[in-house]
Chain A
Amino acid sequence: GQNIDQPTEMTATEGAIVQINCTYQTSGFNGLFWYQQHAGEAPTFLSYNVLDGLEEKGRFSSFLSRSKGYSYLLLKELQMKDSASYLCAVLDSNYQLIWGAGTKLIIKP
């Protein structure tokens, strides 16, 4: 079966760095997405990785290792507004998005 695992909840301090991990087992791979979702809102796109390596975009970076079935989202200089759920999703061989359950990130002052 297809499976995406990410921690349920993480807590971090304002101004710090946090890394949210995602491991996946899917039928085929056409890329991995990270989305941010604030409570009561739809997901917003953060990053897309299809090749191995690190993609940096401002305070957010995303890393992919296809051989390990592993990705992480790195958030630097955390701000209170970064409190949200972070969803990992993989595009499988049929170009269908397989979603993780999301990681709720709590930022404390």
Chain B
Amino acid sequence: GAVVSQHPSWVICKSGTSVKIECRSLDFQATTMFWYRQFPKQSLMLMATSNEGSKATYEQGVEKDKFLINHASLTLSTLTVTSAHPEDSSFYICSAKGLAEYEQYFGPGTRLTVT
């Protein structure tokens, strides 16, 4: 149990376009999901916390107008990178919070390349 999927697994887009990444909890309901970004050879950086039915909470330094997060249902959160630039190229990982406070289940990640 506790499977989280992400789609797409990788995407290449042109500079200036927008890209949507989906994160789904397949066999459980997740009221809270997290979005992380990871640059090569670096650790995960929390971008935002997404709560179902409410606005996401963004970490300091993360532009909320550029990284749009929508958590419309208990099983789906989406991250839209708007007007993508090459510096947005990164590995984006979502995770979903389980029933216990300490439980967090990770999706497989989405590799975004902006050309």
Contact = CB atoms under 8 A, between A and B. Distances in A.
A20 to B, nearest CB: 14
A31 B93 contact: no
Contact of A101 (B34, B43, B107): B43
Contacts of B46: 96-97, 99
B43 A91 contact: no
B102 A30 contact: yes
Contact of A95 (B43, B44, B101, B109): B101
Contacts of A50: 102
Interface string B76-115: 0000000000000001010000000110111111010000
Majority SS of interface residues in chain A? loop
Interface residues of A, number: 21
A96 B109 CA distance: 20
B42 interface: yes
A101 B45 CA distance: 10
Nearest to B59: A96
A44 B104 CA distance: 10
A101 B108 contact: no
Given A97-B46, A99-B43, A101-B42, A44 B106 contact: yes
A100 B46 CA distance: 12
Contacts of A41: 108-109
A15 B61 CA distance: 44
B44 A99 contact: yes
A31 B43 contact: no
Contact of A40 (B42, B45, B49, B111): B111
A28 interface: no
Interface string A16-42: 000000000000001101000000111
Interface of B: 34, 41-46, 49, 91, 93, 101-102, 104-109, 111
Interface of A: 30-31, 33, 40-45, 48, 50, 87, 91, 95-97, 99-102, 104
For the complex of A and B, the 5 pairs showing the least CB-CB separation, nearest first, are A42-B109, A101-B43, A42-B106, A99-B43, A95-B101
